[in-house]
Structure 1
Amino acid sequence: MRNPVCLFAVVIAIFGAGNLLPASAWEHWGGDRGGSRFSPLKQITPDNVGNLVRAWEFSTGDLDRRAPEVMKRTKFQATPLLVEDSLIFCSPFNEVIALDPGSGAQKWRYDPKILTNQRPANRYNCRGVAYWVDGKAPETAACRARIFMGTNDARVIALDARTGIPCADFGANGEVRLDIGMSLEWPGEFQITSAPVIAGDTVIVGSAIADNRRAEAPPGTVRAFDPRTGQSRWSFDPLLHDGVTAGHANVWAPMSVDEARGLVFLPTSSPSPDFWGGKRPGNNDYANSVVALRAETGERVWSYQTVHHDVWDYDLPAQPTLARIDTGEGQRDVVIQPTKQGFVFVLDRDTGKPIWPVEERSVPQGGAEGEQLSPTQPFPTHVPALLPQRISADDVFGFIPFWDGEACRAKVAAARNDGLYTPPSTQGSVVYPMTGGGVNWGGAAFDPVNQILYANTTRAIHIVKLLPRATVADGFNPPPGHDFGRQLGTPFAMTRAVALSPLGLLCNKPPWGEMVAVDLKAGKILWRSRVGTTEDRAPLGIAFRFGTPLGSGVAITAGGLVFSGAMDAYLRAFDARSGQELWQGRLPVPGVANPMTYLWKGEQYVAIGAGGHSESGTTIGDSVVAFRLARPGETPSLMSRTIDRPGGRFSAGAAAAAVVVLLTAMLAWRWRRNRKLRKQPHAQ
């Protein structure tokens, strides 16, 4: 925005997405209704980012108030909103908290008193809240401005955005309890984890439902309510049930809204259960799809399916990003949908048709008994895949090739591995990218001025194995490190495990987490940059610059920066043009959440939830941390540092220490193996 033309371009681009926000605002989970995660703020730049200091840290108090075994079942993925002169976010236990944006001091707090014995299938989690202003209410009326939240125990709650007091006219004393439509196997089988969205006078929520438990699972209905009264407006089931035995394709990821068109865009999941679909023949239309609905009525306008008859858990995990792009043949309003496979689908916002050609290509066949695979899958041709989609036994990683490298090679070689879309099998099949790989719930970000898409990606291998029902006893326990799904109502249960070496490292070669910048018009990847190190996971704090798995997303600014968290305890800033890592801000624990930025009393802040991620094995915390530029007399502390070289931090002393640690681990492994062999009975 160095001249009026660029400023005009920003205004037009943001308006094209159906959003026009003041420069200080971050009023929606994705920055705006279309999830661009772009801020026009430019006070913090590549030249001064090294002067960032920690402005404040706020602790929710959960570490002190909750039992350790409960905290081990949490994921802190919330992104605060800047609304009503407050930063407002939710804790994993659905406590809604409002902070002073400048000091981090608590202004109000609401506790819905979530029970902590329900063991939610997707952990205790709340990614965010939604904000709405009732234009028909007087300025001073209570609940004129409202905060909406979905909960882990299937409630939709409305609060006064200024006070945190429940809005008594919404449902019963400020809440609506969802009618799930069938009995749950346990209270945590069904929950709401992502923020609601609001289109006009309609508040819309999705759901998160336990994977791989049963074929006849709770339906994945998307529900809409009147934001004043809580009365039901409409509902939409993303799965066609004709001839299908499957409970759900749901919408657990964040949705997007185009206010001008009156459309809401759903990223739908795979049908239940994930890895065997013999009782749900056909493509399972509207599952694994971007679905555009009339926000007022729930009528389907169009849908586009990215995976046919999914048996890989390749659902759509990311918020659809709404943007206006230059296609080379003029400006188009589009929906950008990244996927777990690393694809980027770019669809016309009015019709759902691809902007650039998508080819139906033949994919591996020969599924498990009773399976009816699709012979083809859609492959975008213009925008390249953001990460490799095939791995062989020769591509594995190991510090010591004849030991941990050989163990990884054996794991991959023993499984069926025909590339992308290898069917699950009783032999065990390689799923690469893994089911949590590619672009995940953090979504992508789009710079409307420079027309560049940014996304965090994860590279890891899953080994998925089908278990014939007769071999699975009632008390069956999977091997350590394996997820287990009974897939009741089908002939197969399943196990799923990330391919790890004996040292606990990913079996695929680094990078394990990478930020990617893409020129959509040219269909060209501009740069890649590794995000995260092993510092907070490896012995002695050894910081191998391998990148870490990245489920969370990024925030980009007109100042030329991209901000991201990782699985280590740092918030990072990257040069948006080159991808060079410029700065790190130390966090109390990993910030596995989407960062955001805002302007408060003339100063730009960058904030991130830092509470860790129990499923990924990080340390657990309960904080939100904000940074700003140093004021006169302040100097950046050791918790904030500039990165002088792109190679990262790894000294000769650390390298020597790493070798010692690895050799020690190797000897310990061999000792445990030999001890186990000595205890085994001799063959007769």
Structure 2
Amino acid sequence: MRSLVRLLAVLLLCAEPALAWEYWGGDREGTRFSPLNQITPDNVGTLVRAWDFRTGDLDARAPELMKRTKFEATPLFVEDSLIFCTPFNEVIALDPGTGAQKWRYDPKISTAQRPANRYVCRGVAYWVDDRAAEGAACRSRIFTGTNDVRLIALDARTGKPCADFGNGGEIRIDAGMKLEWPGEFQITSAPVTGRGVVVVGSAIADNRRVDAPLGAVRAYDARTGEKRWSFDPLVHDGISAGHSNVWAPMSVDEARGLVFLPTTSPSPDFWGGQRPGNNEHANSVVALRIESGALAWAFQTVHHDVWDYDLPAQPTLARIDTGAGMRDVVIQPTKQGFVFVLDRDTGKPVWPVEERAVPQSGAEGEKLSPTQPFPTHVPPLLTQRIRATDAAGMPGFERPACETLFGQSSNDGLYTPPSTRGTVIYPMTGGGVNWGSAAFDPVNQILYANVSHAVQIVTLIPRDQAKGFNPPPGHDFGRQEGTPFAMTRAVAKSPLGSLCNQPPWGETVAVDLKAGKILWHSTVGTSEDLAPLGIALRTGTPLVNGVAITAGGLVFTGAMDAYLRAFDARSGRELWLGRLPVPGVANPMTYLWKGEQYVAIGAGGHSEAGTSIGDSVVAFRLPRAGEGASLWSRIIDRPGGRFTVKAVAAGLVVVVLVALLWRWRRRRRMRSA
């Protein structure tokens, strides 16, 4: 009976547009689940590369400019095309079967703006005007936000700007105040649409100043570009703070007319003495009426944040079995590794959330919240405490240095406040879960998410010492102007550059929400493309990107080594690796084209993580008759394969040289005799 129910669920899903991957998160709900099942655990090991498209950025842009890029885009499969954006906001449409370019639009953004969050575009949005005639220009539209803060509407079939939207197809968004420099304010995540409205957030430089630009979310008429509403997530009564914004992806419930915002911490991040109280509605899931911008409800996941624990992940909308019946919910993973499950109509937790006492040793003038919310049903996706004895590295050299680093810093567990002596932040400000978000299988009721295991040390610098302060290499420096403290932030690393905490450093986690149980953890990534000489140690890599899951029983993900991976959704066992030109630090997606299922990922690297940089989108499919990976490619496309081949070749060269030397010396001895 249970199998029959699952089969019916899959059939229902297949009848819906979710088959097409029309949204950044796969579907409007952001589940990243595809009902496609042609690729399975039994045949995924035979996948071959179908095509590799290069945007041309690597050849056309200066190397120093490319070092400031992050290729995080996930293509949409709409209008018989794959459509995505580059870090420089070019929008490109590809043939799904060949990867050939169909059209390209270049908004010609300035490359002198120095965007605070680097050049990045995570995706575009697709919308169809049901009032327009079939075949009319811009009946189907692509919306994209830019690093220079424009919202642009394009014809999804031709890539031409929609002349009836805004000013010739675009709206220039006013930050509302003078910026310190042009890149202080930008758009990095895809807009969302619903009920004829397009909604866009913003990314604002962290830790610069109290008087930062407001973090308003803005909504426009999807046909005309006329402004509909704006919403400032932060309640400013009696506090001194500039913004709590929405840089992460949003979600829409079209039937309810709700848009869900994952909001950030208030500015600046690491000292909040001038913003007393909980700072509503920062660090919150906020539900707004999409047509008016009116507040429906809000739920705060961190009170008075001084750890940069903003919400980076798209709220996932799902219908789940709670054990007391089916219920429409919002699933919100966090950087700390928590999973909050909220009723979609009220925002109230589906399972109890406890307010627990947290450390109170704040810096001078700080006014911390005495408690923080802890979900009680779904366990954290990763550990939340690191001790000096957990330090990694070679004994006698690396490990003592890491132990000293942990031991000399404030470290009372989760929510230890920043201090002038340095504070251990674990999970780090990059997660836990990051913008890659979670994926939900509605058939088997399982949640999947990528998590990072890394430690940061945050240190407050008294204002009289901050002027002219020269941060050590690898340290992020924030002035936090308008407060008594500047700050530095750095990932805890050994003298040789490896992470100070024990691996794995990146994992995919599967969770049974109904049971409140972790089903499996699986290490993702090796050191091959990060370590010297290409040595492939199974350490895992930090994972800011997310996964795509399928009804075929697979979990696909990229990592910070240059492979796309497939895992068995039931067991977490790694089943397949597809070699990429450079690391694919983006969310993969899957689609069906002319009867064949493809899996695609943006492979452009990630400058902040120190990976190699590229400009590719790569797609894989099952082999056709006569196709298949050669023995040679199967050898070198395994982690460490290239290193092994090079090592064997070097060994053979050494053997040959030794043999020649022995032969030469033997001949000399014979001549002497």
Contact 2:18 2:27 in 1 (8 A): no
Aligned counterparts of 1:392 and 1:2: Cα–Cα separation in 2? 45
For 1:241-260, what aligned pairs fall within 5 Å after superposition?
241-260=236-255
Q: Which residue number corresponds to residue 421 of structure 1?
A: 415
Contact 1:202 1:224 in 2 (8 A): yes
Secondary structure class of the residue paired with 1:282: coil
Which of 326, 329, 336 matches 1:334? 329
Aligned counterparts of 1:437 and 1:377: Cα–Cα separation in 2? 18
Contact 2:150 2:172 in 1 (8 A): yes
Aligned counterparts of 2:470 and 2:171: Cα–Cα separation in 1? 38
Matched residue type, 1:414:
Q
- Does structure 1 residue 604 correspond to structure 2 residue 604? no
Q: Give ranges in structure 2 of 5+ residues lacking alignment.
A: 649-673
Aligned counterparts of 1:89 and 1:638: Cα–Cα separation in 2? 34
Cα displacement string for residues 139-164 of structure 1 (whole angstroms, at most 9, x for unaligned residues): 12100100000000000000000000
- Does structure 1 residue 9 correspond to structure 2 residue 4? no
Matched residue type, 2:528:
E
Aligned counterparts of 2:550 and 2:637: Cα–Cα separation in 1? 22
Contact 2:635 2:641 in 1 (8 A): no
Aligned counterparts of 2:139 and 2:632: Cα–Cα separation in 1? 41
Q: Which residue number corresponds to residue 239 of structure 1?
A: 234
Which of 115, 124, 143 matches 1:120? 115
For 1:46-125, what aligned pairs fall within 5 Å after superposition?
46-125=41-120
Contact 1:583 1:643 in 2 (8 A): no
- Does structure 1 residue 574 correspond to structure 2 residue 567? yes
TM-score, normalised by the number of residues in structure 2: 0.94
Which of 373, 376, 381 matches 1:381? 376
Aligned counterparts of 1:86 and 1:409: Cα–Cα separation in 2? 52
Secondary structure class of the residue paired with 2:65: helix
Matched residue type, 2:427:
P
Which of 340, 343, 353 matches 1:345? 340
Q: Structure 1 vs Structure 2: percent identity of aligned residues? A: 78
Aligned counterparts of 1:108 and 1:278: Cα–Cα separation in 2? 51
Q: Which residue number corresponds to residue 441 of structure 2?
A: 447
Aligned counterparts of 1:38 and 1:7: Cα–Cα separation in 2? 15
Which of 444, 454, 470 matches 2:464? 470
For 1:53-452, what aligned pairs fall within 5 Å after superposition?
53-398=48-393, 400-452=394-446
Matched residue type, 1:257:
V
Inter-CA distance 142–95: structure 2 relative to 1 (3 Å threshold): same
Q: Which residue number corresponds to residue 544 of structure 1?
A: 537
Aligned counterparts of 2:17 and 2:86: Cα–Cα separation in 1? 27
Aligned counterparts of 2:432 and 2:121: Cα–Cα separation in 1? 22
Matched residue type, 2:400:
E
Which of 511, 525, 533 matches 2:526? 533
- Does structure 1 residue 42 correspond to structure 2 residue 37? yes
Once the two structures are TM-superposed, the CA of residue 652 in structure 1 deviates from its matched residue by: 12
- Does structure 1 residue 515 correspond to structure 2 residue 511? no
Matched residue type, 2:510:
A
Once the two structures are TM-superposed, the CA of residue 651 in structure 1 deviates from its matched residue by: 12
Q: Which residue number corresponds to residue 555 of structure 1?
A: 548
Secondary structure class of the residue paired with 2:396: helix
Once the two structures are TM-superposed, the CA of residue 437 in structure 1 deviates from its matched residue by: 1.7
Aligned counterparts of 2:358 and 2:77: Cα–Cα separation in 1? 46
Secondary structure class of the residue paired with 1:108: strand
Once the two structures are TM-superposed, the CA of residue 186 in structure 1 deviates from its matched residue by: 0.3
Contact 1:584 1:641 in 2 (8 A): no
Contact 1:586 1:639 in 2 (8 A): no
Cα displacement string for residues 568-605 of structure 1 (whole angstroms, at most 9, x for unaligned residues): 00000000000000000000000000000000000000
Contact 2:194 2:252 in 1 (8 A): yes
Once the two structures are TM-superposed, the CA of residue 4 in structure 1 deviates from its matched residue by: 5.3
Secondary structure class of the residue paired with 2:17: coil
Aligned counterparts of 1:308 and 1:642: Cα–Cα separation in 2? 51
Cα displacement string for residues 297-321 of structure 1 (whole angstroms, at most 9, x for unaligned residues): 0001000000000000000000000
Contact 2:265 2:310 in 1 (8 A): yes
Contact 2:535 2:640 in 1 (8 A): no
Inter-CA distance 442–56: structure 2 relative to 1 (3 Å threshold): same
Which of 535, 553, 576 matches 1:583? 576
- Does structure 1 residue 498 correspond to structure 2 residue 491? yes
Matched residue type, 1:232:
K
User: RMSD of the TM alignment (CA)?
Assistant: 2.0
Inter-CA distance 652–467: structure 2 relative to 1 (3 Å threshold): closer
Once the two structures are TM-superposed, the CA of residue 200 in structure 1 deviates from its matched residue by: 1.4
Inter-CA distance 413–146: structure 2 relative to 1 (3 Å threshold): same
Matched residue type, 1:31:
G
Over 4 Å off, 4+ runs: 1-4, 637-645, 648-654
Cα displacement string for residues 543-576 of structure 1 (whole angstroms, at most 9, x for unaligned residues): 1001000000000000000000000000000000
Matched residue type, 2:515:
A
How many residue pairs were aligned? Answer: 648
Aligned counterparts of 1:87 and 1:27: Cα–Cα separation in 2? 10
Inter-CA distance 633–644: structure 2 relative to 1 (3 Å threshold): closer
Cα displacement string for residues 312-354 of structure 1 (whole angstroms, at most 9, x for unaligned residues): 0000000000100001000010000000000000000011010
Contact 2:533 2:643 in 1 (8 A): no
Secondary structure class of the residue paired with 2:335: coil
Contact 2:147 2:188 in 1 (8 A): yes
Contact 2:333 2:433 in 1 (8 A): yes
Matched residue type, 1:184:
L
Cα displacement string for residues 282-311 of structure 1 (whole angstroms, at most 9, x for unaligned residues): 000110000000011000100000000000
Which has more radius of gyration?
2
Cα displacement string for residues 647-666 of structure 1 (whole angstroms, at most 9, x for unaligned residues): x8699989x99xxxxxxxxx
Inter-CA distance 633–515: structure 2 relative to 1 (3 Å threshold): same
Cα displacement string for residues 231-284 of structure 1 (whole angstroms, at most 9, x for unaligned residues): 000010000010111110000000001111110000000000000001111000
Once the two structures are TM-superposed, the CA of residue 179 in structure 1 deviates from its matched residue by: 1.3
Once the two structures are TM-superposed, the CA of residue 366 in structure 1 deviates from its matched residue by: 1.8
Contact 2:528 2:640 in 1 (8 A): no
Cα displacement string for residues 445-502 of structure 1 (whole angstroms, at most 9, x for unaligned residues): 00000000000000100000000000112x3221101000000000000000000001
Contact 1:573 1:583 in 2 (8 A): yes
Contact 1:89 1:96 in 2 (8 A): yes
Once the two structures are TM-superposed, the CA of residue 21 in structure 1 deviates from its matched residue by: 3.1
Inter-CA distance 653–643: structure 2 relative to 1 (3 Å threshold): closer
Contact 1:326 1:451 in 2 (8 A): yes
Matched residue type, 1:579:
G
Inter-CA distance 639–284: structure 2 relative to 1 (3 Å threshold): farther
Contact 2:151 2:172 in 1 (8 A): yes
Aligned counterparts of 1:464 and 1:209: Cα–Cα separation in 2? 20
- Does structure 1 residue 617 correspond to structure 2 residue 614? no
Inter-CA distance 652–468: structure 2 relative to 1 (3 Å threshold): closer
TM-score, normalised by the number of residues in structure 1: 0.92
Cα displacement string for residues 510-558 of structure 1 (whole angstroms, at most 9, x for unaligned residues): 0100000000000000000000000011122111001000000000000
Once the two structures are TM-superposed, the CA of residue 110 in structure 1 deviates from its matched residue by: 0.2
Inter-CA distance 644–164: structure 2 relative to 1 (3 Å threshold): closer
Q: Give ranges in structure 1 of 5+ residues lacking alignment.
A: 658-684
